[in-house]
Amino acid sequence: MLVSDLRTRFRDEGITPSLVADFQQHVMAFYEAKGRHDMEWRHTRDPYKIVVSEVMLQHTQVPRVAVIYPKFIERFPDFAALAAAEQADLLAAWQGMGYNRRALNLQKLAGIIVDEYNGTVPEEPAVLATLPGIGPATSCSIAAFAFNRPVVFIETNIRRVFIHYFFDDDRIVDDCELLPLVASMLPLNAREWYWALMDLGTALKASVKNPNQRSRHYTKQKIFEGSGRKIRGSVLKKCLNKKVGARMSLRKK
């Protein structure tokens, strides 16, 4: 069995060229056969669109993002349009995503990109991480997906993959143990590799007991349905509808 074989080899021999080659082959074979190739943000190299998608995906599941993302991009097609948007319009377009502060931070980010970077997204993760709402993992994912930069980072699906394939079930694993593995396995095409890892991690969540429960950094995400976030979102939606309705009435006059 591949999992037990990889675990044994890693435990006994450490990271070897053959271990790297076998794991890469397995991950990419999965991606070719079962990867999520239909996600709209994977069919663009526009840094703006990738920044928007990565911020949306921070705390929101892919199916929900897939519905809202194209409408948001149509409404705000670039950093300049987003930076100039009225807050009510912005939050209305964000409706259903949850964590509305992300939308406000995204607008602040857009303003900084326009004013300080001439509309061009910086490629360095260290610079990206200074922007509003962009933490270490998101800065690296933007660098990888927008610019194919060979950055090393961990997020929940990547963590799930490496814990499952390389660590015994009774181990509590620290990210410090994972980072050398992530770095060693990284091929030249970072963009496609991280897509593949994230898709494999998502598939593992549905097929095995969540390996992330063995992570020292594990926290369980709250369910959106029926949560305080959803209730606050419903209240916000009513307020936004009232504002939009009032604005339309004024325009008619």
Task: Write phi, then psi, for 151 (nearest 5 degrees).
Answer: -90, 155
Q: Which residue has the tokens 């970072």?
A: 190
Q: What is the pLDDT of residues 18-49, one digit of tens each?
A: 999 999 999 999 999 999 999 999 999 999 99
Q: What is the pLDDT of residues 176-216, one digit of tens each?
A: 999 999 999 999 999 999 999 999 999 999 999 989 888 98
Could you tell me the sign of the dihedral formed by the alpha carbons of 163, 164, 166, 168, in that order? Answer: positive
The pLDDT assigned to 214 comes to 86
Decide if pLDDT at 251 tops 70. Answer: no
**54 included as an active-site residue:** yes
pTM of the predicted protein model: 0.84
Distance between CA atoms of 19 and 7, rounded to whole angstroms? 10
Q: What is the pLDDT of residues 41-98, one digit of tens each?
A: 999 999 999 999 999 999 899 999 999 999 999 999 999 999 999 999 999 999 999 9
Distance between CA atoms of 134 and 246, rounded to whole angstroms? 34
Per the residue annotation, which of 13, 32, 54, 155 is the catalytic one?
A: 54
Q: Which two tokens stand for residue 33?
A: 């056969």
Distance between CA atoms of 225 and 206, rounded to whole angstroms? 19
Share of the chain above pLDDT 90, in %: 80
Distance between CA atoms of 156 and 198, rounded to whole angstroms? 8
Q: Which two tokens stand for residue 102?
A: 């992300």
The pLDDT assigned to 230 comes to 47
Decide if pLDDT at 108 tops 60. Answer: yes
